Amino acid sequence: MRIHILGICGTFMGSLALLARSLGHEVSGSDVGVYPPMSTQLNQAGIHLHEGYDASALIPAPDLVIIGNALSRGNPAVEYVLNQSIPYVSGPGWLAEHVLKGRKVIAVAGTHGKTTTTSLLAWVLDHAGYQPGYLIGGVPLGLSESARLGHGDFFVLEADEYDTAFFDKRSKFIHYHPQMLIINNIEFDHADIFADLAAIQTQFHYLIRTLPGKGTLFYPKGDQAVEQVLQRGFWSKGCSMALNDPQAGADWVLLEPEHPHEPCHILHADQEAALVHLPLLGRHNRHNALMCFMAAHACGVPTAAIIKALQAFPGVKRRMELLGSPRGIDVYDDFAHHPTAIETTLRGLRERMGTSGRIVAVIEPRSNTMKLGVHQQALAESTAAADAAYWYMPPQVQWDIGQVIDRSTVPSFVLRDLDELIDQLAQTLQPGDHVVIMSNGGFGGLHQRLLDRLGYSKEQT
């Protein structure tokens, strides 16, 4: 079958393309503003990318068009598909019908940590010999691709609450019907489609309704937004977790070490179950790791195998990925798209580095929620762990960031020109600094342009 995917370079749709190709289909796709790592991964897989949404990519007509949720009525490709009566389907709908049927689906949901937790769990199951299938909304460093059919019973899936398609406004995860469900956390996000936190909680409630009675829900004990969802109805086995609080009444507890290089203690039913040295930065990643540990344990993976795999986890592209260290300046790429993500990432780096060098945050408020200015009141505090913050405000961002700068506890600067931003960074950065570039998009190629300006070469790594 010839399948064409509209919006193919999105993290979900790009992974879907790899699965369709693995099933033997001829796959191509269209998108705009393509950028790595997904565009690179698709090119390496031999999947043809068409730049733009003109109808020429749909001539001759494919057998099926999978339409991403970023496309809406009025898009030339969408209009052509409808006018020519070309069969079409949403990405989650196709995935549920052609990949997930007959599999033991483990869905990883929540506002934060989905990609890392999904990658961790796929990595652990793979290392334990379970040969899982998986779909990850990012590119894991330790696995060959962001999606794989696998040969085992389990399929690990990043389960996003964003809507499905222009013709299906349910959250994507409603389609997946998992047997195990991880809810990392719930916060207000996606302000372009959700009116408030309650609207998001309703979608999570619907998701929980699809979990069978013999299924298992893994959740954080004491998370108010999650607990409110559970109070609306819960019919499956629950397995709770907590950090640093053995008195919380959680099934599993992770005790963080006093020093970053010491192991974490994991308790189960008030008894010590494991000692684990975790390579990932920050409390949020220790949360993610415990969720993974719980789910892997429920899958039957031996404790020793879980520990060994977690300690060897190499990370995920664009999640505090060290791109290079030109002139002794560490340059990181991070996907942070929400004040909580910015804050926890910078705090995790500060915890690891201590007073060793300055932390410089370079942030593009690119997500739809950030563009709308919904979280602007929380942005000032989000950079508190940094020594300086540079905010890039492209023309389409209309809200005034002045109040954020006024309330910030660290020196903060606003720039609307990328060249000027690179000039300022190049002039002020010094050996020993740690630069964290934070955006959920390509940031105009800032990452590589800054590395080049600082004199980076691959031989330096």
Q: Can you identify the CATH homologous superfamily of domain 2-93?
A: NAD(P)-binding Rossmann-like Domain (3.40.50.720)
- Is 70 exceeded by the pLDDT of residue 207? yes
Q: How far apart are CA 258 and CA 197, in angstroms?
A: 34
Residues 27-70: tens digit of each pLDDT: 999 999 776 777 888 888 889 999 999 999 999 999 999 999 99
**Does residue 400 or residue 170 have the better pLDDT?**
170
Percent of the chain that is helix, strand, coil (3-state, to 5): 35, 25, 40
Cα gap 365→167, rounded to integer Å = 28
- Between CA 242 and CA 253 the distance in angstroms is 5
pLDDT of 122 higher than 90: yes
CA nearest neighbour of 364 among 315, 418, 310: 418
Which residue is listed with tokens 């013709």? 167
User: Taking Cα atoms as reference points, which of 431, 399, 428, 432 lies closest to residue 413?
Assistant: 428
Amino acid type, 313: F
pLDDT tens-digit readout, 126-153: 999 999 999 998 778 888 788 999 999 9
169-178, 200-209, 405-414: least confident range: 405-414
| Average pLDDT score over residue span 194-201 | 91
Higher per-residue pLDDT: 340 or 299: 299
**What CATH number does the domain located at 102-311 have?**
3.40.1190.10
Do β-strands 133-135 and 147-148 pair in parallel, antiparallel, or remain unpaired? antiparallel
Q: Beta partners for 322?
A: 332
Interval 6-27 mean pLDDT: 94
Q: Which residues contact 327 (CB under 8 A, 6 or more apart)?
A: 429, 431, 454, 455
Per-residue pLDDT, averaged over 97-122, amounts to: 95
Q: What is the pLDDT of residue 43?
A: 85
The predicted pLDDT at position 461 comes to 47
Indicate the range of 154-163, 190-199, 420-429 predicted with least confidence.
190-199
Q: Is a pLDDT exceeding 50 seen at residue 123?
A: yes
pTM (2 decimals)?
A: 0.82
How high is the pLDDT of residue 157? 96
**DSSP type of residue 244:** S
Min mean pLDDT across 237-251, 294-308, 405-419 is at: 405-419
Which CATH architecture best describes the domain 321-460? Alpha-Beta Complex (3.90)
The pLDDT-based confidence of 398 (bands split at 50, 70, 90) is low
What pLDDT is recorded for position 402? 72
Average pLDDT, the chain: 90
Query: What is the rounded distance in angstroms from the CA atom of residue 154 to the CA atom of residue 306?
Result: 16
The whole-number pLDDT of residue 380 equals: 74
CA pair distance 12, 84, nearest whole angstrom: 26
> How is the chain split into domains, by residue range?
2-93, 102-311, 321-460
Number of other residues whose CB lies within 10 A of the CB of residue 362: 28
